[in-house]
Amino acid sequence: MTTRNAPRSPLAGTPSLLRAINDRAALELLLAHGPLSRTGIGSLTGLSKPTASQLLARLEAVGLVVPVGTTAGGPGPNAQLYQVNPAAGYVAGLDVTSTSVRVAVADITGVTLAEHRVPTKGWPAAATVPQVAEAVAETVRRAQLAPDALREVVIGIGGAPDPATGKLRYAAHLPGWHSPRLAEELAAAIGAPVSFENDVNLAAVAEQSGGAAAGCEDFVLLWAEEGVGAAIVLAGRLHRGFTGGAGEVGYMPVPDAPAKLRTRQKVAGGYQDLVGDPAVLALARRHGLRGTDAAQVVADALTAPEGNAFLAELAERLAVGLAVIASVVDPELIVLSGGTPTAGGERLRELVQEALGRMSIPRPEVRLSTVPGSPVLTGALQRALATARDALFSTH
């Protein structure tokens, strides 16, 4: 005789799980829409007023929301307004280059409380951990926070952490940053979890969150200044590649700039020889433009009599690499970021768009970065905030 198992009934969510889901939804709405009353929370979530009241009381009791005044001007009694408690947690973001370390500290609502920049010239490799820890500690002091206030630290760096070994790849220009235990050592010195992310990837995070790529799920960000790199976002997610090196296009072979393998560890040539800062300065000199800062030379070219020909050739060079990337990835959008493209402004963007249209069958729209300040630092803070909020806002 054959017996058949009775069909299993779907499991319903437990009351505590449902409360946690509602709590998280309310906290995200408070972040997005500012102070809200229980009626506002109810309208946006579909919760009843009594349930919204219980939710807010629960979140206030654990320090995640605070009252911030009342509504005014409407009929009936004024309603209490609530917002996410800024003091519920703090995070730090770092932007590491070959010349400096920039640090920013923000509260859990995303408000930046302090920034600090430390030149790295003269740092011995062995001093990386204590020097970075001190830079973070100084920024925390400037934010007038307790030394142990940070919940998460994200470091943007010009390389790619290998997911298998933890070692930093593509970053020979950053001595002192290659230990596979560096994240653990920094976490112990700083007193908070530390993670690394490629700096150009973080610039893309910032653009996707509230910049030129907001609302776009398939785009490429090209960063061009001293170094050249790209970030690739597919279906809304960063594509890092098998070894974490997706987007390391600086040594990508392109016409007139083949890559040359000098040793097993060192490569020369490639796209960077066309559009990196030294190449931009050399091109400018050929067109009669002088200067020692590539971004400033590009900016000066916008008004110089000989600037048009220089900008047109620079745009052609940028488009050569972008055509290769667009042919493989076929993105909806390309964002130009870094010192060189942003200095060229709308004029350079237009020239790149035109040149790309002549070279590539896929013809994605080209936009300039719209993130103010340092996109890398902004992206580092956003990534740190996302991780800290996941931990803090999970009340189940």
pLDDT higher than threshold 60 for residue 3: no
pLDDT for 155: 96
Q: How confident is the model at residue 264 (pLDDT cuts 50, 70, 90)?
A: low
- Looking only at the bridges linking them, the beta strands covering 150-157 and 160-161 are unpaired
Distances (CA, A) of 278 to 203, 281, 292, 294, 304: 22, 5, 9, 8, 20
- For the residues 235-251, what does the mean pLDDT come to? 90
For residues 281 and 298, the answer to whether their CB atoms sit within 8 Å is no
Q: 150-185 in b/e burial notation, b at 16+ Cβ within 10 A?
A: bbbbbbbbbbbbbeeeebbbbbeebebbbbeebbeb
Which distant-in-sequence residues (6+ apart) come within 8 Å of 156 by Cβ?
A: 93, 94, 95, 96, 197, 198, 199, 201, 202, 376, 377, 379, 380
List the single range of 60-69, 154-163, 331-340 with lowest mean pLDDT.
Answer: 154-163
Determine the 3-state secondary structure of 112 from DSSP.
Answer: strand
- For the residues 323-336, what does the mean pLDDT come to? 96
pLDDT higher than threshold 90 for residue 268: no
Please give the residue that has the higher pLDDT: either 285 or 124.
285
| pLDDT tens digits for range 71-112 | 765 555 678 999 999 999 999 999 999 899 999 999 999 999
- For the residues 16-44, what does the mean pLDDT come to? 90
| Residue whose structure tokens are 């994200």 | 154
Please give the residue that has the higher pLDDT: either 268 or 130.
130
